[in-house]
Chain A
Amino acid sequence: MYHLALKMLLGDRAKYLMLVGGLTFATMLMTQQCGVFFGLLKWTTSHLSNMRAKLWVVDRKVEQANELKALRDTDVNRVRSVAGVAWAVPVYVGVQSAKLADGNFKPVMLVGLDNATLIGQPPLLLRGRLEAIRLPNSVIVDELAVRRLSAGRAKPLDLGDTFELNDREARIVGICRADKHFFGYPYVYSTYTQAVQFAPRQRKMLSLILAEPAPGYSLASAAAAIEAGTGMKAYAEEELFWSTIWWYFRNTGIPVAFISTILLGFIVGMVISGQTFYAFVHENLRHLGALKAMGASNGLLTCMLLVQAFTVGFIGYGMGALLVVGFGRTAVTRGEPPFMFPWQLPAATFALVMSICMLSALMGIRKVWKIEPAIVFRG
């Protein structure tokens, strides 16, 4: 009987296309918007993925990775002296202004790494040598910086080229790939001592301290020891990641905007497919009544409607998901718009689309249950 149920639905071209189209659209809207949303949120944690350290020691008041309060240079040694800390290194992070060949200025995210260890180094060096960063006035820039800072030049910036960073000459000795920052600033790496030269002089220049627990200490116990011993805040990497994401969740309108779009996707999908499905059942009342008269039970008719609903659900979801994957691939290779596609995302959309189908089917099922088989004899 189920093959006939499908044929009945497929035979009604307009409704079938409407159903599949509505569900494709809903899938796309929900998945794509969530992907962009996750991508955007992930950008807020780019410092973490770019520097990679187990412990992040910051000012007591700091709640997220993009709003750091400066520490004293001596604080590094205070952390080092805490029992349970294997090592601790200083990092400078600050937005500085780079001058372009055409006279314009562009903000860049300047990261100063510990001179001796270079801990926090770029995740992937594409060209050049990391150690060259210790030479005077040397920097490693990311691919975005190459694109951004090349404006007004005949050729894109390359190894050996220079540009002005806060009125000081910076020589490119390496090009790296780094995760993009939420504010869209390119990453420029130098040593800590260089960085504080590039940056305008202030009383406190240290942004944060990266550390690792000594053998035998858990992350939690080392963090607790640092907090007790120094009065600073010590985050485990994971902890700072979520703290940062939650901070943006709580303090910006971004989630509201995205959740509204997702809700909209759900509602649009629901309205289109619910209404179309209801209309389908309504227009086939006579035939469904005839099936009932011929002895089709409510159970059989329910299963037929479910088969119809879930079939269009699978097709619509599949097409929507494919389109989003296509979009996501382009986004990820281009680096923007932000996009992240964890497996939970298609899984959750799948569940939502299936619940849309279930609800739509239920509307039809309610109607089918109420059909009196005797209607088949009424003109």
Chain B
Amino acid sequence: MSTTTVAPLAVHVRAVTKTFGQGEAAVPALKGVDFNARQGELLMIVGPSGCGKTTLLSVIAGTLNFDGGEIEVFGSSLHAMKPRHVTEFRKRNVGFIFQQFNLIPTLTCIENVSVPLLINGASRRVAEQKAEAMLDQMGLPGRGHDRPANLSGGQQQRVAIARALVHEPRLIICDEPTSALDKDTGSHIMDLLRDVARHPDRSVIVVTHDNRIFKYADRLTEMEDGRVQRVHDQAGNPDFSE
């Protein structure tokens, strides 16, 4: 195992289990997952519907408690943190991109993008300046004062990406970012996310079952029935660094 050629770990997941419900109705969604994500890479979690991808993403992001195992994200041990500290952790370190964009319809794009900064305590003026700059960067100059509903799906997802990046989090979490978009728009969004991942101090994790976008991944983690089956790169080479 050579660690010199491989980028440092961003996310480190060991033997994580999660069961929904109790007794007869219990659904084991994660059955001991081992999984790593590196800094500066775009990692995809793929697999059939219901295999536990979203659940895994949720526990990594700190939005869902897990039953057993250990998760470290950029040096923070989620399994050892109090809920309050997990909220703090998300606030600073995690950017979210959702399948349905989840932009607030009554707010302008600038206001939507400014939210993570405001939650982090920035002033309104600073937050809106940064939000506007980020929208420019995402290829949406001049649309800052529009409501999300006046934008196309792809543009809305760009706004969502701007919102996920504006507070410079180290971990970007995307759940099915392209499934509400057509093929070309989806490709553009993936190009964008790939560029986002090209940052040494950052890691992008994308959950998807859309095989048309697999090619954008640096590495693919295949899941099945609550377990990781295989980790490989684009050439199909297994990843021995795990």
Contacts and interface: CB of A to CB of B under 8 A. Distances in A.
Interface of A: 1, 3-4, 7-8, 10-12, 284, 286-287, 290-297, 300, 372-374, 376-379
A140 to B, nearest CB: 66
Given A1-B118, A1-B119, A377-B98, A295 B87 contact: yes
A377 B54 contact: yes
Nearest to A10: B106
Contacts of A1: 115, 118-119
Interface in B77-136: 84, 87-88, 90-92, 94, 96, 98-100, 102, 104-107, 111, 114-116, 118-120, 124
B119 A291 contact: yes
A295 B63 contact: no
B151 interface: no
B58 A374 contact: yes
Contacts of A290: 96, 98, 102, 104
A3 B124 contact: yes
B27 interface: no
B61 A293 contact: yes
A134 B175 CA distance: 98
A294 B104 contact: no
A295 B98 contact: no
Contacts of B88: 295
Nearest to A3: B124
B196 to A, nearest CB: 17
A263 to B, nearest CB: 35
A379 B58 contact: no
Contacts of B100: 286, 379
B115 A4 contact: yes
Nearest to A298: B87
Nearest to B120: A295
A295 B102 contact: no
Contacts of A379: 99-100
28 contacts: A4-B107, A4-B118, A7-B106, A8-B104, A8-B106, A11-B105, A284-B104, A286-B100, A290-B96, A290-B98, A293-B61, A293-B96, A294-B91, A294-B116, A294-B119, A295-B90, A295-B119, A296-B91, A372-B63, A373-B63, A374-B58, A374-B63, A376-B63, A377-B63, A377-B99, A377-B175, A378-B54, A379-B99
Q: How large is the interface on B (under 10, 10 to 19, 20 to 34, 35 or more residues)?
A: 20 to 34
Nearest to B98: A376
The 4 lowest CB-CB distance pairs between A and B, nearest first, are A295-B91, A11-B106, A373-B63, A374-B64
Contacts of A4: 104, 107, 111, 114-115, 118
B13 interface: no
Contacts of A377: 54, 57-58, 63, 98-99, 175
Nearest to B106: A11
A377 to B, nearest CB: 5
Given A1-B119, A3-B124, A374-B64, A8 B107 contact: yes
Contacts of A295: 87-88, 90-92, 94, 116, 119-120
Contacts of B94: 294-295
Contacts of B96: 290, 293-294, 376
A284 B104 CA distance: 9
Contacts of B58: 374, 377
A65 B120 CA distance: 67
Nearest to B147: A11
A3 B192 CA distance: 31
A371 to B, nearest CB: 11
Nearest to A373: B63
A292 B102 CA distance: 12
A378 B29 CA distance: 14
Given A8-B106, A10-B106, A376-B96, 6 more contacts: A11-B106, A286-B100, A294-B96, A295-B92, A295-B116, A376-B102
A286 to B, nearest CB: 6
Contacts of B115: 1, 4, 291, 294
Contacts of B98: 290, 376-377
Nearest to B163: A294
Contacts of B116: 294-295
Contacts of A7: 106-107, 111
A156 B58 CA distance: 86
A293 B95 CA distance: 9
A25 to B, nearest CB: 25
A287 B102 contact: yes
Contacts of A378: 54
Contact of B102 (A8, A286, A297, A300): A286
B71 to A, nearest CB: 14
A372 B91 contact: no
A8 B120 CA distance: 19
A18 to B, nearest CB: 16
Contacts of B120: 295
Contacts of A297: 84, 87
Nearest to B112: A4
B107 A294 contact: no
Interface string B182-203: 0000000000000000000000
Contacts of B118: 1, 4
A10 B106 CA distance: 8
A293 B62 CA distance: 8
A300 B119 contact: yes
A145 to B, nearest CB: 61
